[in-house]
A = this chain, B = another copy of it.
Amino acid sequence: MSRATLHNRQDSLERALQLFWCKGFHATSLKDLERALDMRPGSIYATFGSKGQLFQEALECYARLALVELERTLDIHESPLAGLAAYLRRLGGLRDQELPSRACMLVKSLLELGEREQAARDKAEALLAGMEARFIERFATAQRAGELDSQLDPTRLGRRLQAEVMGLRSFAQRDVDSAAVHALAEDMALSLEALRVNSVA
């Protein structure tokens, strides 16, 4: 019966993600979205409901991709601590990649959104909590594996790491050269590796 959809939903979502990640919520207009998705307003609203709902879906899509990326990096390292350090070093290459923004979209949203966009704000908040939880989990694993002093608190370490990532990525958004970002990531990775029990060296 029905007409076939012209646009793939996931593909449209990823295009919207690029835009929102790059320009933020407020600076992205429906005109921008129409252009990027090659869709007319009616189709956008029929598919995604509203600009706010589309943004929230984009946030979820972003966090999903970010988590996959994190997981992939962690998986190729047997040692939990080495995996987390590798994740930091990967972020050191932020300025070398072609990305919509060097900064984390969740942090951008957390800082940009106000009470009027409460739902999206809550979504960003929740997704950040999810990332934090993953970090904490990994530190707990490291502790069970004996890589980490049993007196250290995985929760504090996880939050610390999240703050480091937030700082690293915000710093990378500055107009600094690639080497400075690499050096910063390296310093952070070294600090993290210094937590290893048999590396008091």
Chain B residues near A114 (CB-CB < 8 A): 22-24, 27
From A3-11, A56-64, A67-75, A183-191, give the one contacting chain B: A183-191
| Alpha-carbon gap, A22 to B187, bound state (A) | 32
Interface membership of chain A positions 82-126, coded 1 if the CB is closer than 8 angstroms to chain B and 0 otherwise: 000000000000000000010100011011101010000000010
Asked if A165 is an interface residue, CB under 8 A from chain B, the answer is: yes
Interface membership of chain A positions 129-162, coded 1 if the CB is closer than 8 angstroms to chain B and 0 otherwise: 1000000000000000000000000001001101
Most B CB contacts (10 A, CB to CB) among A103, A111, A129, A173 go to: A111
Asked if A128 is an interface residue, CB under 8 A from chain B, the answer is: yes
Asked if A166 is an interface residue, CB under 8 A from chain B, the answer is: yes
Most B CB contacts (10 A, CB to CB) among A166, A175, A187 go to: A166
Contact with A167, one of B24, B168, B173, B183 (Cβ below 8 angstroms): B168
Write the chain B residue with the least CB distance to A103: B111
| Alpha-carbon gap, A128 to B23, bound state (A) | 21
Chain B residues near A26 (CB-CB < 8 A): 24, 26-27, 112
Would you give 6 A-B contacts (Cβ < 8 Å), ordered by A? A23-B114, A107-B111, A156-B187, A162-B167, A163-B170, A191-B191
